[in-house]
Amino acid sequence: MKKPRYTPLQISIHIFGWYPLAWLVVRGLTDNLTANPIQAISQWTGYHAILFLTLSLACTPLNTLFGWRELLKRRRALGLYAFMYASLHMLSFVGLDYGFSLKFFTEGTATKPYMLMGITTFLILLPLAITSFKWWMKRMGSGWKTLHKLVYMAGITAVIHFAWAKKGDLAGLSGDIVKPLIFAILVALLLILRLPPVRRWASQLKQKTVSILKPKPV
């Protein structure tokens, strides 16, 4: 039997990837973007940027723990959706908030650390998105993997940007910190699971679990 061209997971990821943008467009066309539409657009796109970035970081650890190899094929799509929403977030901020005024944007960056951290995250994601295709992978060779390890740094800076933009204090556990704290814990766990000793331990644990659960021949 011929394999289907698209897997259920692949279809689900693309539906989920475009849904936030479709929701935003429908809300905008029906004039239903809250009393502060610029803030709503910025927060909605920023939230989904960090969500898709976290999901892309989860693919390798979940494969290590559960042997779900198809997730490795979906990292690029999730990463590109993260970049798409990060770009929309950046565009809404620079265009709608600052009217594409370089002067005001530069002054805002100098006085608001969360903006600097957001720009840093975007600038990290930019070369990763550009070089995410197979042509670049072949052309760059081993340097491609080295470059794409910067996604770990992007995960960290994205969480910091999110926390600071929410005006919460993660260290002091005060302010609006629930969502930033959840993302901080998730990203930290995903990065820890990528450490070679932890990854080897997780692989060994998976093999032992499979051998225990495997039916014994009668």
Q: What is the pLDDT of residues 106-152, one digit of tens each?
A: 877 778 889 999 999 999 999 999 999 888 988 998 899 999 999 99
Using CA atoms, how far residue 130 sits from 56, 59, 134, 190, in Å, is 16, 20, 11, 24
Compare 42 and 105 and report the one with higher pLDDT. Answer: 42
Q: Tell me what the mean pLDDT of segment 190-217 comes to.
A: 77
Confidence class of residue 59 from pLDDT cuts 50, 70 and 90? very high
List b or e across 76-89, with b for residues whose CB sees 16 or more CB atoms inside 10 angstroms.
Answer: bbbbbbbbbbbbbb
Please tell me the distance from the alpha carbon of residue 79 to that of residue 121, in angstroms, as a whole number: 13
Q: What are phi and psi of 169, to 5 degrees?
A: -115, 95
Three-state DSSP state, 169: strand
Give start and end residues of each alpha helix (H) in the chain: 8-29, 37-66, 70-91, 102-111, 113-130, 134-140, 142-148, 150-165, 178-192, 196-213
Domain boundaries, the chain: 36-194
Three-state DSSP state, 174: strand
Please tell me the distance from the alpha carbon of residue 76 to that of residue 30, in angstroms, as a whole number: 33
**pLDDT tens digits, one per residue of 173-200:** 555 678 888 999 999 999 999 998 998 8
> What is the C-alpha end-to-end distance of the chain, expressed in Å?
32
Q: What are phi and psi of 174, to 5 degrees?
A: -135, 160
Please tell me the distance from the alpha carbon of residue 69 to that of residue 76, in angstroms, as a whole number: 14
Which amino acid type is present at position 196? P
Tokens of 106: 């530069």
Please classify residue 129 by burial: count the beta carbons closer than 10 Å to its beta carbon, then call 0-12 exposed, 13-18 middle and 19+ buried. Answer: middle
Please tell me the distance from the alpha carbon of residue 178 to that of residue 176, in angstroms, as a whole number: 6
- Provide CB contacts within 8 A for 192, sequence distance 6+: 198
Most confident listed range (48-52, 168-172, 191-195): 48-52
